[in-house]
Amino acid sequence: MYTQALDTHGKEPLPEEAAREAHALRFQARVDADEKIEPKDWMPEAYRQTLIRQISQHAHSEIVGMLPEGNWITRAPSLRRKAVLMAKVQDEGGHGMYLYSAAETLGVSREELLEQLLSGAAKYSSIFNYPTLTWADVGAIGWLVDGAAIMNQIPICRCSYGPYARAMVRICKEESFHQRQGFEIMLTLARGSAAQRAMAQDALNRWWWPSIMMFGPSDADSKHTAQSMRWKIKRFSNDELRQKFIDITVPQADFLGLTIPDPELAFDEATQHYRIGAIDWSEFNAVLRGQGPCNRERLEARRRAHEEGRWVREAAAAHAEKERLREAAALKESA
Amino acid sequence: MNSDWPLFEVFVRSRAGLEHKHVGSLHAADARMAIEHARDVYTRRQEGVSLWVVLSSQIIASDPQEADALFEPARDKVYRHPTFYAIPDEVKNL
């Protein structure tokens, strides 16, 4: 601030700068008034970049999220479960498509976004770097991971950026099925044989903490929260959402007769909230840095799919071009 | 050079008798593929009975900067609305 004050001392601000400031004030006033910002409206560059980063990370997460569950499609225990799982994985692909489209309205191309994912430059939710070892993991993902995602995503339906908010409305409608089918799998296992109950408990043991960490770093360490709240990209802090998730999920685990893997978990009568033990952020950060159990495998699977699909994309483009030329020639002939 | 397939805007008619409504966009090599992708991306739960796809590059949109000039003239013409006219309560069917 000090150097800036020195720089402009005695000088009128440049006209462009003054115009930008006027735009910025009007922009913030619109956001404060809960007006939606649409693609062609003026917006601060940092707002645009924040949204591109957040929406594309979200899109990548949906796409990579297809992998851990896709792993179980061929081994689903019944035709009903298989049909449901295929529908769910297809939904995740669809969610990725809605979100990439929303990001593209901000002036970034699909190709750039895919390159960022495949090169490893872009982040995606680190939860998908954990393996799905048993069928119960499919249940735990639906119940916990999709449950946490819904908690995160519902407030984004009211995000200040129109295309993102509209994509989120569609996604949230569909996520509810994901969570319920997951809980149903857990319930079936919990009411099954001792071995099935043990499988459900084991899945809960492995997915609980990563799900809790899906809400991101605690508020004190979250570098983007304050600005995103001012821009109404974010409506609640990470810790608020995490607490909400814990409060609704613990009774569900109780209903299943499963034990949350946290010896310090306790209900606080004074605050009417559950208190949890300390979160191991070193694990979260390690997975984020690429040292999770499946980081390499996930990216390799995406790269392989991209490469193996190349000839299809090229053939479709060549076919479309041929048709276009044929139509143009026919038009010329008839003229 | 961007080698993405062209972008299409997708419009869905949710029921016979209703208008097509914009739902989002997608990439496709040609119009036919755009319809097939739109079916998969936007109508997995019986959201529609009819689809329109339009090349995004073909859409001509009004400029937000000109919104005032375009829409302001309608703002002070409340007399275009039926509620502008005070009719005594005794008068029925009006």
Residues of A with CB under 8 A from a CB of B: 38, 40-42, 87, 90-91, 94, 97-98, 101-102, 104, 109-111, 166-167, 170, 174, 313, 316-317, 319-320, 323-324
Question: Smallest Cβ distance to B4: which of A42, A110, A323?
Answer: A110
pLDDT of residue A1: 37
A317 → closest Cβ in B25, B29, B41:
B29
A:B CB pairs within 8 Å: 52
Residues of A within 8 A of B33 (CB-CB) are 316, 320
Query: Using the beta-carbon criterion (under 8 Å), do A167 and B24 form an inter-chain contact?
Result: yes
The residue among A23, A35, A41, A97 with the most chain B CBs within 10 A of its CB, best to mutate, is: A97
* Residue in A101, A166, A320 closest to B30 by CB: A320
B2, B23, B24 ranked by CB distance to A111: nearest: B2
pTM value > 0.95: no
State the nearest Cα–Cα gap between A110 and chain B, in angstroms: 7
Residues of B in contact with A319 (CB under 8 A): 29-30
Judged by phi (left if over 0) then psi (alpha if -120 to 50, else beta), residue B30 lies in beta
CB contact under 8 A, B5 and A109: no
In this predicted structure, what is the pLDDT of residue B94? 86
Helix then strand then coil, % of chain A, to nearest 5: 75, 0, 25
- Two structure tokens written together for A222: 């979250």
User: Token pair of A31, please?
Assistant: 């956001």
The amino acid at B65:
Q
The pLDDT value recorded for residue B38 is 97
Name residues whose C-beta falls within 8 Å of residue A324's C-beta, 6 or more positions apart in sequence.
B30
Are residues A257 and A197 in contact, defined by beta-carbon separation less than 8 angstroms? yes
User: Across the strands, what pairs with B52?
Assistant: B11
CA–CA distance, A72 with A28 (Å, rounded to integer): 47
Across the interface, do A319 and B29 touch by the CB < 8 Å criterion?
yes
Whether residue A128 contacts residue A68, with contact meaning beta carbons closer than 8 Å, is answered with yes
Verify whether the Cβ–Cβ distance A98 to B44 is below 8 Å.
no
Q: Which residues of B touch A170 (CB under 8 A)?
A: 23-24
The answer to whether A326 and A157 are in contact (CB under 8 A) is no
| Best B30, B55, B65 residue to mutate vs chain A (most A CBs within 10 Å) | B30
Digitized pLDDT (tens) for each residue of chain A, 335 residues in all: 344 444 444 556 677 888 889 999 999 999 999 999 999 999 999 999 999 999 999 999 999 999 999 999 999 999 999 999 999 999 999 999 999 999 999 999 999 999 999 999 999 999 999 999 999 999 999 999 999 999 999 999 999 999 999 999 999 999 989 999 999 999 999 999 999 999 999 999 999 999 999 999 988 887 778 899 999 999 999 999 999 999 999 999 999 999 999 999 999 999 999 999 999 999 889 988 888 999 999 999 999 999 999 999 999 999 999 999 999 999 998 87
Round to whole Å and give the CA distance between A97 and A110. Answer: 10
Q: In this complex, do B30 and A319 lie within 8 Å of one another by their Cβ atoms? A: yes
Cβ-Cβ contacts under 8 Å for B79 (sequence gap 6 or more): B85
pLDDT of residue A231: 96
Per-residue b/e over A209-227, b at no fewer than 16 CB within 10 Å? bbbbbbbbbeeeebeebee
pLDDT per residue as tens, chain B (94 positions): 477 999 999 999 999 999 999 999 999 999 999 999 999 999 999 999 999 999 999 999 998 889 889 999 888 999 999 999 999 999 998 8
Q: Which residue of B has its CA nearest to A37?
A: B64
